[in-house]
Amino acid sequence: MESATYETSAESASNFMRWIERRLSEEVESNEKHAKEADQPPVITVVSDSINATLSTEEKQAVIARVHTLRDERKSVDKACKMVGLHAQTYNKWRRSLNIPKYTRQ
């Protein structure tokens, strides 16, 4: 008879954290590779409001510039924001707080 091995909840959580860290690292590496191949600046992915506070003014401006580049490619504001990992409301909030005028298609 085989003895079953069970993880404790702490071991299970630890294993999950290692897995998610590895998976996120692979995803970031893949995104950077694709951005380099497409000769595009890397996309800053905003995951939650807690990350927003850590972005510098320059990083926020870069995200807004990337949204505007996607808008030039005929993407809607919602689609462009989603592509860079930013909520449209956050995009507008940043745009207003940084005194960046509303987007006008070129």
In terms of C-beta density within 10 A (0-12 exposed, 13-18 middle, 19 or more buried), how is residue 9 classed? exposed
pTM of the full structure? 0.52
Q: pLDDT category, 98, cuts 50, 70, 90? A: very high
Q: Which of 59, 67, 56 is nearest to 89 (CA)?
A: 67
Helices (H), the chain: 9-37, 49-52, 57-72, 77-84, 88-97
Q: Kindly state the tokens that stand for 4.
A: 């079953």
Tell me which DSSP letter residue 60 carries: H
**Is residue 65 within 8 Å of 100, Cβ to Cβ?**
no
pLDDT above 70: percentage of residues in the chain: 80
What mean pLDDT is predicted for residues 4-30?
79
Check pLDDT > 90 for residue 43. no
Contacts of 81 (CB under 8 A, 6+ apart): 67, 87, 88, 90, 91
